[in-house]
Amino acid sequence: MNFDKRRTKYHGIIRALSVLVVFVLQIVFVGILAQVIQQYAVQIYFAVEILSVMLVFALVNDTDYNQQFWIVILLLMPGFGFILYFFWGSKRRNSALNKNIRRIESEMCKRLTQDSVVMEEFAKIHPNKIQIARYLEKEGYPLYKNTRVKYYPLGDDMEKEFLHDLEKAKKYIFMEYFIVYNGDWWQRIVKILQKKVKEGVEVRLLIDDFGCLMMDVRNLKKDPRNKGIQICSFGPIDRRFTAMSFNYRNHQKITVIDGSVGYTGGINLADEYINKIVRFGHWKDTAVRLQGEAVWSLTNIFLEMWEESSQKKDKNPMEYTPREIPAEDSFVQPFAGGPHRNPNNPVEGVYSRMINKARDYVYITTPYLVLDGKLLDNLIQAAQSGVDVRIITPHIYDKWYVYMVNISNYGKLVQNGVRVYEYTPGFIHAKNMISDDECAVCGTINLDYRSLYIHYENGVLLSENEAVLKMRDDFMETLEQCEEIHYTEWKKRPIHQKIVQWILRLYSPLL
């Protein structure tokens, strides 16, 4: 291990330990404060409980499920529960952050205009799916044609073309990722970025500060070799223990090159995503490459989060419009969402509508199956209506506690006709949904509470292009490496596992 990698690993460990210390301090502080509160009279105790419940109803404005979760916490842990909510659940829709993102987003939507002819054409071809496209257009994300799409069933498949596209950049490179880790792949990427800067290419890198906890971001910025690369962190980890948040992270993954080529999907910039190293077995992840008009929406989604993170507004965003537009008949609709949109979050809205509009089948891959009541009901109702609903989750997990919640959700699903499978070679990180050979979504959106309501996410709705069928075929090929979950076997879980899973399900919005 060379000196740079040792320093990066050391710095990452220090940052992780700092976060752990702050987390422990939060717990200790909450515990002490809760004990003090509970020393008051019984009347005060009931007043605090009533006030807490009223405040949660007033402040938690994303879903009924989240309201119910926090009310249960308040009733089970009086005093302590409200302070817990203050630290980890109180960043609501009208926080300063979300107000600012909505302001920036409203300006962005003015630059994204819908060609009515394209929408009318889609309506004629897919009258059953037009509601999905119209919904996204109403939320500010146009439907495009003239966009070429390529689907990558593995990060390994994307690696070479991704680097080649970076090498070809002439004007600018925008990159936005939840995780960047200093491995072999990142070293090859950063060398290209350094070279491009010297050639006069504008290079911006936006990372999530918590997702890049193990990355020496400070050294990355100070490294003279990276001079000219604009690096910005979303949601810097605040050292004040009252302000640090594990929630509301930027989980988006976007690369835009010269406005004409864009990448998105589940793949972060770390070696395990392209199977350069083994982590949780074979890593199955997916992505799409867009070329053409639809890249303009990806560019604007990036610029929105960049402006929020850097607090710098681009003087002329229109200079980043696509330069190469191929003639293609496929339909492509990039979109994004986050807690600033709750309770009408497009990332949740697309998934719900995809499931509800399915007639023949809906196939889903997700690493996390942490479902609220609404999505669980949607899946079950689709299956009970005769739709072939299948879900693939990992057999080798990255987070044991989330895997326990995955397992706990299997029972009700398979009992009601949903077929659930586990990918046995390793960890499946792909976030895909395919329906009826007509449309598909590839993006960053997990089938869990965090992605659907708490994190900032993005995806692409695809239709009438080869990528949809390739995603379907990839799903069916992946099934051959999976084990199906059966209800009779699921019921035989050890009693201690059932208890742990029941407890963890109570806390699923925090997982």
- Cβ(9)–Cβ(217) under 8 Å? no
- Whether the pLDDT of residue 34 is over 70: the answer is no
Look at residue 98 in the predicted model and tell me its pLDDT: 87
Asked whether the CA dihedral 416, 344, 147, 231 is positive or negative, the reply is: negative
Cα–Cα distance list, 5 to 10, 20, 201, 342, 379 (Å): 8, 22, 27, 40, 45
- Cβ burial of 243 (10 Å; 0-12, 13-18, 19+) is exposed
Which amino acid is residue 484, in one-letter code?
Answer: E
DSSP 256-308: EETTTEEEEES--BSGGGGTSS-SSBEEE--EEEEEETTHHHHHHHHHHHHHH
Among 93-97, 141-145, 425-429, the range scoring the smallest mean pLDDT is: 93-97
Of 150 and 248, the structure prediction assigns the larger pLDDT to 150
- Cβ(378)–Cβ(372) under 8 Å? no
Dig out the tokens for 497 from the structure.
Answer: 């596992």
Look at residue 324 in the predicted model and tell me its pLDDT: 82
Select the highest-mean-pLDDT range: 83-87, 251-255, 491-495.
251-255
pLDDT tens for each residue of 114-133: 999 999 999 999 999 999 99
- Whether the pLDDT of residue 23 is over 70: the answer is no
Q: What gap in Å lies between CA 296 and CA 287, rounded to an integer? A: 18
Q: What gap in Å lies between CA 173 and CA 205, rounded to an integer? A: 8
- Whether the pLDDT of residue 503 is over 60: the answer is yes
Among 76-80, 153-157, 219-223, 254-258, the range scoring the smallest mean pLDDT is: 76-80
pLDDT tens for each residue of 437-488: 999 999 999 999 889 988 999 999 999 999 999 999 999 999 999 999 999 9
Sequence ranges of the domains in the chain:
3-88, 96-128+143-330, 341-510
Of 36 and 417, the structure prediction assigns the larger pLDDT to 417
pLDDT tens for each residue of 168-179: 999 999 999 999
Look at residue 403 in the predicted model and tell me its pLDDT: 92
pLDDT tens for each residue of 188-212: 999 999 999 999 999 999 999 888 8
Look at residue 344 in the predicted model and tell me its pLDDT: 87
Query: What percent of the chain lies above the pLDDT cut of 90?
Result: 66
pLDDT tens for each residue of 319-340: 999 888 888 889 999 999 998 9
Q: What gap in Å lies between CA 443 and CA 129, rounded to an integer? A: 19
Q: What gap in Å lies between CA 128 and CA 86, rounded to an integer? A: 43
3-state helix, strand, coil in the chain (%, to 5): 50, 20, 30
Residue 87: pLDDT band by 50, 70, 90 thresholds? low
- Whether the pLDDT of residue 400 is over 60: the answer is yes
Same fold, 96-128+143-330 and 341-510: yes
Query: What percent of the chain lies above the pLDDT cut of 70?
Result: 80
Q: What is the mean pLDDT of the chain?
A: 87
Report helix, strand or coil for 373: helix
Look at residue 95 in the predicted model and tell me its pLDDT: 77
Pick the CATH number of 96-128+143-330 from 1.20.1560.10, 3.40.1190.10, 3.30.870.10, 3.30.200.100: 3.30.870.10
Residue 30: pLDDT band by 50, 70, 90 thresholds? low
Among 56-65, 79-88, 445-454, 499-508, the range scoring the smallest mean pLDDT is: 56-65
Range 17-29 average pLDDT = 68
Q: State phi, psi for 343 to the nearest 5 degrees.
A: -90, 5
The architecture of the domain spanning 341-510 is 2-Layer Sandwich (3.30)
**What is the distance between the terminal CA atoms of the chain, rounded to a whole angstrom?**
33
- Whether the pLDDT of residue 157 is over 70: the answer is yes
Range 59-74 average pLDDT = 58
Of 388 and 10, the structure prediction assigns the larger pLDDT to 388
Residue 350: pLDDT band by 50, 70, 90 thresholds? very high
In the block, tokens 């700092």 appear at 18
Select the highest-mean-pLDDT range: 19-23, 90-94, 349-353, 448-452.
349-353
Report helix, strand or coil for 91: coil
Range 394-414 average pLDDT = 93
Q: What gap in Å lies between CA 171 and CA 125, rounded to an integer? A: 37
Of 306 and 343, the structure prediction assigns the larger pLDDT to 306
pLDDT tens for each residue of 240-284: 555 556 678 999 999 999 999 999 999 999 999 999 999 999 999
* Closest to 442 in 3D by CA, of 338, 363, 325: 363
Q: What gap in Å lies between CA 122 and CA 140, rounded to an integer? A: 17
